[in-house]
Structure 1
Amino acid sequence: MAGAAGRLLRGAAAFAASLALLGGSAGVVRAEEPVYAIQTEAALRLPPAGSRDQPPSYHAYLLKPKGDAPRDYVFTWDFSELAGFVDVGVKPHSGDRCTIDGTRMTCRHRYVNDNPLVPTPLLRAVRGARDGSSGHLRVTAESEGVTVRGASTLVRVGGAELFAVRVPLDHRPFVGEVQRPRYSFVNKGTLPAGRVLLALTVTRGMDLPRTAGNCEYADLPGPVETGFALCSFEGPFEPGAAYRADRGIEVRTGERAFVDTLEYEFVVDSPAERERLRAGLVLTRGNGPSVIMRKEGSGLPPADDVGKYDTGFDELWARTTTDLQVLGDTAFAARGERFTVDLGFRNNGPAWITQLGPGDPTSVAAVWFTVPPGTKVTSKPDRCRAWGADGKLLHNGLGAPAYECRFVGRVLEDERHGLRFGLLLEKEVENARGRIELHGGTNQFWPDDDADPDNNTASVVVNPAEVAEGPRGVLAFALGATLIALAGGAFVVVRRRRRAS
């Protein structure tokens, strides 16, 4: 079941986003009504009793409007269709909130966070269960004042079980390079598969040219995963045998590529799996000849090449560059005055940057801001942490001499991130100069990888406003331009500031 948890998470996020946009799910829900739903795996294969295979992980998520107030739920799992060939139990960590009565498991829980995990039953095939026995596990939920849409999972004992085989790829491709991996899988189950589906997913820097006639293609909304293909192959595919495509299915490295991923997932074809994989996408059929899966003799691929799951995953590091440019600022202020500086960085492209594989999961890039002398930080972005002169992290985030600001998730090829700091001018220092500089965030991007290292640092300059005492107030001059407004018998100063880019 492999990649199922990751795909379920992505499906949950996409479903939640669609609910936010549409105000409801498919059906007769009015746009103004909040929508609640449960999402689970479409299918689950249990190993026969006595098998050395571990039972697969099984997940369910509660999808609800973002920011919903804490709410109590009662979840009911109906496993009447599984009676006779599946034992159902309560997971140890759910024992204080779940009980079983007959063919139902009831769980009570209070949720505060968005899209939380739902308690799920523990499923094991009973001894003597017929290979291929199947039935639906259904879940519903209730909460005061709302309607929750339930879900079901097809549970099967034994049957076909497909494992993706690692494909040979050039993991350092050039921009524009087209590779044609010949995908393959092993049926490690107990029954043949009549028809098999291959789902291909690529991230922002990769493309799937629409060249295979038995594949359907779609553009994903992104911003991370942007390309998808669903291919269908006729069987039967026997247990204990390996199968390989007779020719490659194209994948191309695009201009935005830097560190990207190719995911390939094999599943036994069924209406539930097709619905899960299509996920409401608009797909178009490829315009080339069909690809055929052929049996690979009697030997199986080396164990190191056969994945532990139905999903294969490859990370590609393109031979390309990107250019992150930090943004400084210049400000003018009088002693005792509070003001702001707008800092940050932008990606000049052509490549995007993301955290996809191993490495520091907290950031894709970071900047370091050294505060100009004579000034004190009075407000800061939440993402920025304060550091002392001794190089130690400070718990009090204001008034520090330096700040590290991390950027999480991704930086698209044309994206800008701003950092607004509030400062207080405590002491007038002519041409007081701070500094903002780019630091690496993960093992995938460091300043050495940057196409233009000269713009990885910038100045943050604060100058005192020129002061001339007048009989009724203070006259300030900034950058040689002064705007004076008379209000209430006093002069009000409007300061002009210049941004350095």
Structure 2
Amino acid sequence: MKKSLSLLAAAGLTAVGLTTPAMAADPVYELVGPSELAVHAYPTSGEPRVTSLGLTAGSVWDQPAKPATFKVDLSRLAGVVDVAAPGGLSPLRCTTAGTTMTCHNPVARQLFLDVSAAKGSKAGASGELAVTATTEGGTIKPFTTRIKVGGPDLRIADPKLPGKAKTGDELPLAVRFENTGSIAAKGVDLSIESTLGTVLAEKYDNCAYGAGDLGGYEGVTAATCTLEGDFEPGTAYEVVEPLTLEVTGAALRESVEMSVFEAGKGPKGAAAKRGATGKKLTFKPVGKSAAKAPKAADLDRSDNTFRTRFEVGNTADLAAIGATVQAKAGQTVKVDLGYQSHGPAWFDHQMPGARGSWMEFQVPEGATLTKVPGTCFGFEADGTEHAPGKVSDTRSYRCGSVSVLPGEKELHSFELKVDKVVSGAKGAISVSGHAPDPVQGNNKAELVLNAGVTPPSPTPTPTATSTGTPAPTASASATPAPVTSTGGNDVRPNGNLADTGSSSVLPLAGGAAAVIAAGAALVVAFRRRAAGRA
């Protein structure tokens, strides 16, 4: 009877066009994890070293939390590795029956396992781990990974660069690395990335050259060189041909990162162009070579990379940019204020130890701000700072920058309303830089309102006997008044993001910290824009 009623109800809903919409299909998730995992060989004494294997389906930020149940097939790993649930505060609850481990995670679609070499296993032995999973409101695809006992463990050494340098210096890079693992690496990819103030002098045919992503800085260059051969365990190697880092005129605070991975196993970089010089970068072993061994994943990738930094004595000339505005009372105008860098040094606020580049702006008499860019914040004489991007009662504002390249302009767009015409009202603009400024005379500019304009005289009050028609009242135009900028044409509306490094010129407190927090969300878009500009 209930079924009949349901069918009749559905028919009725259909007749009046009120059928329930079709439900969307449940989402399908992939378990994301390594396709290959290497664990340390079983030791001759002591306990085996544990390697963590982590798998995730969907986003770890899903709300509300979505539990999942995992079944791990261990049948193909017998005698190769031991697999256990992690201890401590892990939410996983696991049981094992035969060769199947079942784990339930009540708070996330995540599985973590501790993997170690089984007693009696041989270097090079491998097996496959298979995982299936179920979850509420979705489907999870099966996952498999190959686990191998032993592997190469490439470690790169400090290139021994000096802590300080001068523009024009040529710094030799000492490239030395070793395989501290138990299995040979089949070929090696050597990568060298450096920031904008440096350039790699030599080019080799087995190296690809292009843009890098070191620290997210602008203008990073990268070279990735493929070295062919077997890199045996217990052996150190060094590059034979010279690799020289040239310090350019734009250098200030520079970073160099070198990394070495088994060929094809390192991070994927941007498209690059190979050298065509007829020369090839080669290597030589240091010490006795061991017997050849099969290829495997790197045991510990944390020591595959080495980053070093150095400072260069340099200067940067920042020229303040102001504007001249003509506007009637009641009008709102837009002004772009900031500075231009005449170099030679570049700047990025994320560089450790970097000072900020800042602009300070005083609102002219007779005007109030109606819009403040997110890169700027108001501040009081006692140092109190207001929220970035917000109009405040103060008449003093400060703006910061993410990076400044030689020749670029850094402009911040404000909107202000002319409340009353004050002839030649001026708002002071000053800039302070990220490096010693060799030209102090151009660090100041002004926003000038209504230069040479005489304020209108008050309208006489009519007498009681006046019978004339009242004069019409002038209405303010909504069209922005013309603005003359003292800068050039390379305008970047809304400026860049604020400095997040410490500044020895101006303090960073509440407002600046908030600008920094906002910058974290915007820096990706800024980088994309900068990349397009380059």
Coarse TM-score class (shorter-chain normalised): 0.5 to 0.7
Q: CA deviation at 1:99?
A: 7.7
Q: 1:124 aligns with which of 106, 115, 119?
A: 115
Give CA-to-partner distance per residue, 1:240-266, whole Å, 9 cap, x none. Answer: x43333343233334443322221112
- What is residue 398 of structure 2 aligned with on the other side? 404
Q: Which amino acid aligns with 2:415?
A: G
Q: CA deviation at 1:343?
A: 1.0
Give CA-to-partner distance per residue, 1:213-269, whole Å, 9 cap, x none. Answer: 5x3222127644322222315334332x43333343233334443322221112233
Give CA-to-partner distance per residue, 1:453-490, whole Å, 9 cap, x none. Answer: 333332222237545579545499xxxxxxxxxxxxxx
Q: 1:202 aligns with which of 175, 194, 201?
A: 194
Q: CA deviation at 1:287?
A: 3.0
Q: 1:167 aligns with which of 148, 155, 159?
A: 159
- What is residue 333 of structure 1 aligned with on the other side? 327
> What is the Cα-based RMSD across aligned positions, in Å?
4.8
Give CA-to-partner distance per residue, 1:300-341, whole Å, 9 cap, x none. Answer: xxxxxxx97111112233444433333222223344443332
- What is residue 458 of structure 1 aligned with on the other side? 445
Q: Distance in 2 between matches of 1:172 and 1:426?
A: 53
Cα distance, 1:210–1:217 mapped onto 2, change above 3 Å: farther
CA contact (8 A) 2:117 2:149 kept: no
- What is residue 425 of structure 2 aligned with on the other side? 432
Amino-acid identity (%): 21
Q: CA deviation at 1:385?
A: 2.0
- What is residue 368 of structure 1 aligned with on the other side? 360
**TM-score normalised to structure 2 length:** 0.62
Cα distance, 1:329–1:179 mapped onto 2, change above 3 Å: same
Cα distance, 1:494–1:206 mapped onto 2, change above 3 Å: closer
Q: Which amino acid aligns with 2:225?
A: L
Give CA-to-partner distance per residue, 1:89-129, whole Å, 9 cap, x none. Answer: 36877738x9899468787989xxxxxxx956243314425
Q: Which amino acid aligns with 1:242?
A: A
Give CA-to-partner distance per residue, 1:15-61, whole Å, 9 cap, x none. Answer: xxxxxxxxxxxxxxxxxxxxx99876676544456569785797989
Q: Distance in 1 between matches of 2:131 and 2:242?
A: 41
Q: Which amino acid aligns with 2:408?
A: E
Q: Which amino acid aligns with 1:125?
A: S
CA contact (8 A) 2:185 2:231 kept: yes
Q: Distance in 2 between matches of 1:151 and 1:282?
A: 36
The 5 A counterparts of 1:1-40 are none
Report the secondary structure of 1:160's partner residue. coil
CA contact (8 A) 1:100 1:106 kept: no
Moved more, 139-148 or 120-129: 139-148
Report the secondary structure of 1:185's partner residue. strand
CA contact (8 A) 2:124 2:151 kept: yes
Q: CA deviation at 1:356?
A: 5.0
Q: Distance in 1 between matches of 2:251 and 2:53?
A: 33
Report the secondary structure of 1:454's partner residue. helix
- What is residue 262 of structure 2 aligned with on the other side? 268
* Structure label with greater radius of gyration: 2
Q: CA deviation at 1:402?
A: 1.6
Q: Distance in 2 between matches of 1:57 and 1:258?
A: 42
CA contact (8 A) 2:339 2:409 kept: yes
CA contact (8 A) 2:368 2:419 kept: yes
Q: 1:385 aligns with which of 358, 377, 380?
A: 377
CA contact (8 A) 1:75 1:140 kept: no
Q: Distance in 2 between matches of 1:281 and 1:144?
A: 44
Moved more, 460-469 or 379-388: 460-469
Q: CA deviation at 1:187?
A: 2.8
Q: How many residues align?
A: 420
Report the secondary structure of 1:394's partner residue. coil
Q: Distance in 1 between matches of 2:401 and 2:420?
A: 32
Moved more, 310-319 or 215-224: 215-224
Question: Within the alignment, does 1:246 sit opposite 2:237 as a pair?
Answer: no
Q: Which amino acid aligns with 1:343?
A: L
Structure 1 unaligned segments of length 5 or more: list them: 1-35, 64-68, 111-117, 299-306, 477-490
Report the secondary structure of 1:323's partner residue. strand
Q: Which amino acid aligns with 2:339?
A: F
CA contact (8 A) 1:260 1:356 kept: no
Q: 1:413 aligns with which of 406, 410, 418?
A: 406
CA contact (8 A) 1:340 1:421 kept: yes
Q: Distance in 2 between matches of 1:73 and 1:437?
A: 54
Cα distance, 1:439–1:494 mapped onto 2, change above 3 Å: closer
- What is residue 9 of structure 1 aligned with on the other side? none
CA contact (8 A) 1:72 1:143 kept: no
CA contact (8 A) 2:423 2:454 kept: no
Q: 1:226 aligns with which of 217, 221, 230?
A: 221
CA contact (8 A) 1:475 1:493 kept: no
CA contact (8 A) 1:430 1:463 kept: yes
Q: CA deviation at 1:285?
A: 6.0
Report the secondary structure of 2:450's partner residue. strand
